[in-house]
Structure 1
Amino acid sequence: MRLTVTVPDDVADQARQLAADTDRSVSSVVAEAIADHVTAERRRRAFGAIDALVGSAAPDPDAAAQFDAELDALRAGSDREL
């Protein structure tokens, strides 16, 4: 697919230099950069959605006490230390 974009001169120079240094075409360097950016953006959005869900979950105030009680019950029924 052909795509025309305008980039600052210094960015174009860096892309050309990287292409020359790695024996690749400028197109392949730019395509890889775009693909990497799209992947990073998708991950950022996914983690943002997860953070929003986790952040909205209120912790159960009795969870620690319940955990301790269950651990004590396991310890009482076991001959080894937990």
Structure 2
Amino acid sequence: MSTPIPRPGAHLAGPTPSVDPEKISAEVNGLLSRLDAVEPDPDDRHGVGVIPKKAHLLEKAHDVLVEALAAVDKS
């Protein structure tokens, strides 16, 4: 009854990528540091347009972390 458990990232094609924690940390910190620079458009009285811009930066940071985790799990 020993069914193999699929490992996250094992489905990714290509060679196992190396993971550099310093590079990943710098990339995520760079994306997060841009959050404060997001300004609303002058026509946006309530600042609603800021939310999608900040969400996009957070999503990119999330993607960097997910890719790093998948690479670690693949190895």
TM-score by length of 2: 0.39
**Higher CA-based Rg:** 1
Higher helix share: 1
- Which has the higher relative contact order, 1 or 2, with Cα contacts under 8 A spaced 6 or more apart? 2
